[in-house]
Structure 1
Amino acid sequence: MSDLSLVSAFPKAEDAAWKALVEKALKGAPLSVLESKTYDGAVVAPLYPPAEDGAVIPGRDPGAPWEITQRIEIADPGTANSQILDDLNAGASGIALLFQGAVGDRGYALSADAATLTGALEDVHLEWGVPVELQLGANAKAVAAMAADLVAARGIPVDHTNIRFGFDPIGTLAANGWSDASPDDVAALAKDLVARGFKGPFAVADGRPVHEAGGTEAQELAFALAAAVSYLRAFEAAGAGLDDARKMIFFRLAADQDQFLTTAKFRALRKLWSRVEEACGLAPEAAFIAGETAWRMMTKRHAQGNIVRGTIATLAAAVGGANAITVLPYTAALGLPEDFARRVARNTQTVLLEESNLYRVADPSAGSGALESLTSDLCTAAWALFQGIEAVGGPEKALEVNLIQSAVTASRAIRETALARRKESLIGTSDFPDLGEDDLAVMDVAPTKLESGAPTVTPLTPMRLGAPFEALRDRSDAVLADKGARPNIFLACLGHPADFNGRAAFAKSLFEAGGIEATAASSAQTLPEMLDGFRASGAPLACLCSSDKVYASDGTEAAQALREAGAAHVYLAGKPGDLEAALRKAGIESFVAAGGNALETLAGAYDHLGA
C-alpha cells in the first residue's frame, strides 16, 4: 500500500501568490496597512517566512509539566490553610504565599508572624517537596527565618523541601516606593539559609511592578534583568561563586492577553539571561521563570471575561516555557475571591496541561517566523533599556533618578489613549458590554494596608485598563439607583437594516460601554417611523445610524427633525466626509466612529444628560 500524503494534495504555498491575492483585496492600498506596532515600536508584519534560526530555547525539561501555583493571600491562617489543602487536593501542584508589602499586595496578604505561617502550613507535607513560593515584602528576613524554623521544628530534612524564598527588595522598592532591605541584605539572608541546608532560589527578579504600572514588554524585561544582575553581584560579593549565585535567582513575569507577545517575552528573558551568563564566563543554564496572569487586564465588569483572558495568558506563558504559572481568579478585581473563582483558576491550568497536553513539546514556537522575530525584537529593545539602567548605576539608582518611572509613565499614557480609542479592547468592558450582568460574590473581607515606610523613590502605581470605563458604569448604576432607569440614548436607525445594522451595533457597544443604555429598531425605518420611535423612547439623546448613501440623501433632514423633536444632543455614527458642514448645520453635534476617543465621547454624553 502506498503512503497517503495529505501534503502532496495541496499546492506549495508561495509568498508571491499570497501577496498577489492580498494586493487585489487591498485595492491599491499598500501592504504596510496590514502591519501593526508593539508598544516598544517593533513592527508586526502580516506574514513571516520560516525562521532561519529556529533553535529550541532551553526552558522546562522536555515533557515536564509546569507547576500549577495557587496564590494564597488571605490574612486569616485557618482560612489560608483550608484554601491550601483544597488547592493541593484538587489539582494545584504548588502554592504562593503572599505577604504584606510584597509586589501584588492589593490589601489582602498574610502577616509576617510565626503563628500565621505555622497555621497556614498546617498538614501541608513540605517533606514531599510541595513547591512553596514565598512572595516577600516588608519583614522578609523574619518570614524567611520563620519558614526555616518551621522546617526544623517539624524535623523535615531540608533537602526534601522545595521553597522559593522570593526576596525582592528591588521589586518592593519599585512597587511601594520604599524597602526595608537591599540586595546586600538578600545575600546575607541567603548565606544564612544555605548554612542551614537550603538550596534556594532565594531572590526573585520580578517584572510585574513595571507591567502593572502600564509598562511595555521590553521595559518589564529590562527591569527584571537589571534586578537579577544586581542580585547576582550581591551574591558574588558575599562570597558565592557565580555558578552558585545564578542558581539562587529566579524570575517572575506577567502573562498578558496578547498571546504572541507574551510567549515571545518569556522566550526573550531566557535569551537575555543566557547572554548575561555568557558574559560571566558561564555556560548558559535554563533559568526558572514563574508567570502570573496580568493584573492590568483584570476587569470588574463582566468579570467572566477574565476567564478567557486568563486562559489566553496561561497558554502563552506555557508555550513560552514558564516553569510555574499562577492564574488570578476571575473575581480578583472585585475583592478576595471565593472558592468557585479559585477553582476556575486551578482548572484553567489543569485543562491546558492535562487535556490540551501543552507541556509535552519543548519550546513549540521555535522556528515560527513571527515568534522568532518578536523574540529577537524584544531582546534588542530590552537589552538597550537594560544598558541604560546599568549606565546610571543599576535598578535602585535608576528608580532614584526616575529613569524607570518616566519611561513607564510615558508608555502607560500611550496605552491608556489606545484603550480610550478602543484600539486596545477589553471584551465586556470597553467593547460589547452587558448592562444586565449579575453581581458576582467575593469573600466578605475588608482590605487592609501595611503601614508604609518613608518613600525614598516614586512608586510605580498599578493600573487596570478597564478602570475608566468602569467608573462610567458606576455613574450609570448611581443614576439607576436614584431614578429607577439608566441614562439612555435612542439609536435613530434610518433605512433598511442593511443600511444601519453595522453602525447601530457599533454605537450600541460604544454607549453601553459607559453605561448609557441604547435602544434601536430592528426593522426598516422611514423618517416618520424613526421619529415616532424616538418620541416613544423618552431618551434625551439620539444617534443617527445609517449608510453613507442614506446620510447623503436624508441625513440633514433627519438631524433637523431629531432636534425639533426634542433631542438634547444628536450624534451621527460614522465619519461625515464632505457632508460634515451640512450635517452640523442641520443639528448633528458629534460624530462617533472607530478610532475616536470613546471615553471623551461618553463623559460628554453624561454632561449632556446632566447626570
Structure 2
Amino acid sequence: MTTPEGAVEGGLDEPTGLEPEQGSLELSGPDDDWQLSDWESATAAVLRKSRRMSDEDADSLVWDKLTRTTLDDIPVAPLGTRSLLDDLVTAGRPARSGDWDVRAHLAAGPEKLGNEALLVDLDGGVTSVWLEADAGTDLAVLLEGVLLDLAPVVLDAPSAPVAVAEAFLAHAGGTGLAAGTNLGASATATDADLVAVARLALERGLLGVVVDGTRVHDRGASDAQELGWSMAAAARVLRVLTAAGMSVDEAAGLVELRYAVTDEQFASIAKLRAARRLWARVLQLSGATTGVGAEPQRVHAVTSRPMMSRYDPWVNMLRTTVAAFAAGVGGADSVTVLPFDAPLGRPDVFGRRIARNTSHLLIDESHVAHVADPAGGSYAVEKLTDDLALAAWEVLGRLDTPEGPDESALEEMVAGVVARRDQQVATRERPLTGLTEFPNLGETLPEREPYDGWQGVRSYGEAFEALRDEPPAAPVFLATLGPVAAHTARATFATNLLAAGGVAVDVAGPTSGPDDVVAVHSGQRVVCLAGADATYDEWGQAAAEALRAAGATHVVVAGKAREWSDDSCATGLDALAFLTRTRKALQ
C-alpha cells in the first residue's frame, strides 16, 4: 500500500486509473450546450407567432424588438450577456452585511395616537423610527416609552429643524442615543439651520442631515434625475458646512441619503448601487479622506409613494413587497415600507403591521439579507448600474450650482419625464394593476382618517384616479354580438377598459342578430359593440343602425374602427383620451 504525504494511515489506494484527465470533466451534457444564437432562434419563433416579426426577419432582430428604454433613455437589453461588461469598471457595490434596519414612518398627527403606533411598531420588530414633527410637537408624549438608546430616531421637521432637534436632545437628556440617530436637517434647509443642526449633531456624535431624493421622486422625477438632484443637494451641504468651519470628513459623516424604490426591481437595485458610486465620487472630488471606496455609506430606501394607488389598495402590498426586495438586494442600510393604505389616509394598525412584516418576511423567511450584494456580477444589473450612474452624473452637471440644485432646470426636466410617463400610463404601456388594468368597480375602499401624508405626491395613476373619483351615472350598453365564445375576448377587453374610467356596463349576453340586441337595450345613449370581425362584417352595421333607431347616440366598436361607428377601442389606444370622450358622450 502506498502512503503518499497527507494520506490517511490504513486507507485504500487512490484509484488513479479512474481519474479523468484534468480539465476534461463536463458538468453538462450535449443537450445543455446552448449558444446565444439558440436563444435568438427560440425567441424569434415566439415573436413570429405573435406577428411581431416576419418570416423574412433575421433572428437577431429580437434584440431590437425586446430592448426597452427607460425614462432616462437608457436601453435595457432583454438578456444580460458577458459583452455588456466589456470595458466596464464595477463600482458601487453594497457594503451592508446582515439584516437591514427596519424603519417605520410616522406622519405628523396627535402625539398620543402616534406614541401608541410607535410602541406597537417597536414591539413588532421595527428597529428605528422616522418621525415627522414641527415646533409644536410634544416629543415627551410622542416618545414616551421609546428606548432611545436602542431605537434610532430620524427627525423630519422641515418647518423648524433647529427647534425640533433641540427639543429632541432636551427630551433625551443624558441618554446615550442609538447609533444611526439623525437630527434630520434637510439638505434644502437654510444655511443657518443646516449649520446649527450639524453642530448639535457633532456635539452628540449623531447624524445630522438627510438628503431626501424622495422629494423629487414624489414630483415625478426619473431615477437619474432623483440621483442627480440628490448629489447636487449633498454637494451643497458639504459647501455650507465646510464654509462654517467643519472639515469635509466631518460634514460627510453627518449625511444620510434617502431614495425611493419602486416595483421596477432591477431599476431600483441599480439606483441604490449607483448612488453609492456617485456619492463616493463626490466625496473624492471634494477632498474627503473618508467616505471614498468600500467604507459604509448610509442609504435609506423608502417604497415609492407615486407607484401606489388609492383604488384596489391591496395591490399596494405587492408593489411594496417587490420594492422592499429591491431595496434589500440593492444594499439599503435602512428600509421603510409604507403601509398599503397610506394613500387613503392615516394608516391603521393592520396597514402598519403588514408594512413592517414585509421586511421581516424578506429577512427572516426569504433570507434576502443573508447574502452580501446578491445582484453583484449580474451582467444586466452591473450594466444598468453603470448606465444610471453616468446618466445621473450628467444630470448633476446640469443642476449643480454654488447655492444648490437649480430648481427651475429640475422642473423643466421633470416635466418632460412626467409627460412621457403619463403617456405610457394613458396607453397602458405602463399598466397599473387594479387601476388601468383589472379595475373593480364594485370594491368598497377601506375608510381612513384624513391626514397630510400624501401632499405633493403625483401618483402615476392620477388621471385615472380622478375619473374613478367621479363615475358617470349612466352605464354603457355592451352589445355583445354572437354566442359567448365569439364575443368574450372583446367584451372582456371593453369592460375592463371602461371600468378603468369608472364606467359600468350593461351586457346584452348571447345574441344571434340585431333584433336580439335591441330587445335587451333599455335606452342607453352610449353602446359598445363587441364581437368577432366576421360578425361585424355580417350584421354589425345592421345592429348599430337598429340601436341608433332605439335611442343610442354614440356607437363604439371593440376592435378596429368601422365606417358605421363613432369611436373604437383596441389594444394600444390612448385609453385616457378614449375614456374622456366616452364619458362626455354619456353626459
Give the partner amino acid of 2:249: D
TM-score (norm 2): 0.87
The whole-number CA distance in structure 2 between the counterparts of 1:26 and 1:494 is: 31
RMSD (Å) for aligned C-alpha atoms: 2.6
Contact 1:57 1:363 in 2 (8 A): no
Partner of 1:277: 283
The whole-number CA distance in structure 2 between the counterparts of 1:358 and 1:10 is: 33
Q: 1:510 aligns with which of 493, 497, 503?
A: 497
Query: Could you give the per-residue CA deviations for residues 330-360 of structure 1, whole angstroms, max 9, x where no partner exists?
Result: 1111111111111111112211121111111
1:409 aligns with 2:441: no
The whole-number CA distance in structure 1 between the counterparts of 2:167 and 2:145 is: 17
1:279 positional shift: 2.2
1:234 aligns with 2:255: no
Query: Could you give the per-residue CA deviations for residues 202-254 of structure 1, whole angstroms, max 9, x where no partner exists?
Result: 11111112111111110000001111111122222223222232111110011
Q: 1:466 aligns with which of 461, 467, 473?
A: 461
Contact 1:472 1:514 in 2 (8 A): yes
Query: Could you give the per-residue CA deviations for residues 547-575 of structure 1, whole angstroms, max 9, x where no partner exists?
Result: 33433444333333332333221111123
The whole-number CA distance in structure 1 between the counterparts of 2:516 and 2:120 is: 58
User: Looking at CA atoms only, which structure, 1 or 2, has the larger radius of gyration?
Assistant: 2
Partner of 1:82: 116
The whole-number CA distance in structure 1 between the counterparts of 2:527 and 2:223 is: 42
Query: Could you give the per-residue CA deviations for residues 355-379 of structure 1, whole angstroms, max 9, x where no partner exists?
Result: 1111111121112122122211111
Equivalent residues in 2 for 1:234-383, closer than 5 Å: 234-281=240-287, 282=289, 283-284=292-293, 285-383=295-393
Give the partner amino acid of 2:579: L
Q: 1:157 aligns with which of 176, 183, 187?
A: 176
Contact 1:69 1:93 in 2 (8 A): yes
Equivalent residues in 2 for 1:137-176, closer than 5 Å: 137-152=158-173, 155-158=174-177, 160=178, 162-170=180-188
TM-score (norm 1): 0.84
Q: 1:527 aligns with which of 480, 497, 513?
A: 513
Change beyond 3 A, Cα 1:566–1:205: same
Equivalent residues in 2 for 1:86-105, closer than 5 Å: 86-99=120-133
Give the partner amino acid of 2:359: Q
Give the partner amino acid of 1:190: A
SS in 2 for 1:575: coil
Give the partner amino acid of 1:544: L
1:192 aligns with 2:200: yes
The whole-number CA distance in structure 1 between the counterparts of 2:132 and 2:214 is: 14
SS in 2 for 1:333: helix
Contact 1:203 1:248 in 2 (8 A): yes
Partner of 2:585: 608
1:112 aligns with 2:113: no
Runs of 4+ in 1 over 4 A off after TM superposition: 1-10, 53-56, 445-449
Give the partner amino acid of 1:33: K
Partner of 2:576: 599
The whole-number CA distance in structure 2 between the counterparts of 1:255 and 1:514 is: 28
Contact 1:531 1:565 in 2 (8 A): no
Partner of 1:395: 404
The whole-number CA distance in structure 2 between the counterparts of 1:298 and 1:382 is: 25
Contact 1:542 1:570 in 2 (8 A): yes
When the two structures are aligned, how many residues end up with a matched partner?
Answer: 548
Contact 1:187 1:231 in 2 (8 A): no
Partner of 1:42: 74
1:568 aligns with 2:576: no
The whole-number CA distance in structure 1 between the counterparts of 2:453 and 2:77 is: 46
Query: Could you give the per-residue CA deviations for residues 439-495 of structure 1, whole angstroms, max 9, x where no partner exists?
Result: 30213x56599xxxxxxxxxx95311222222222222xx5xxxxxx5312222223
Contact 1:251 1:289 in 2 (8 A): yes
Change beyond 3 A, Cα 1:10–1:272: farther
The whole-number CA distance in structure 2 between the counterparts of 1:260 and 1:184 is: 39
The whole-number CA distance in structure 2 between the counterparts of 1:192 and 1:474 is: 47
Give the partner amino acid of 2:219: A
The whole-number CA distance in structure 1 between the counterparts of 2:308 and 2:44 is: 39
The share of aligned pairs that are identical, in percent, is 32
Contact 2:96 2:333 in 1 (8 A): no
Change beyond 3 A, Cα 1:446–1:316: closer
The whole-number CA distance in structure 2 between the counterparts of 1:348 and 1:14 is: 39
Give the partner amino acid of 1:193: A
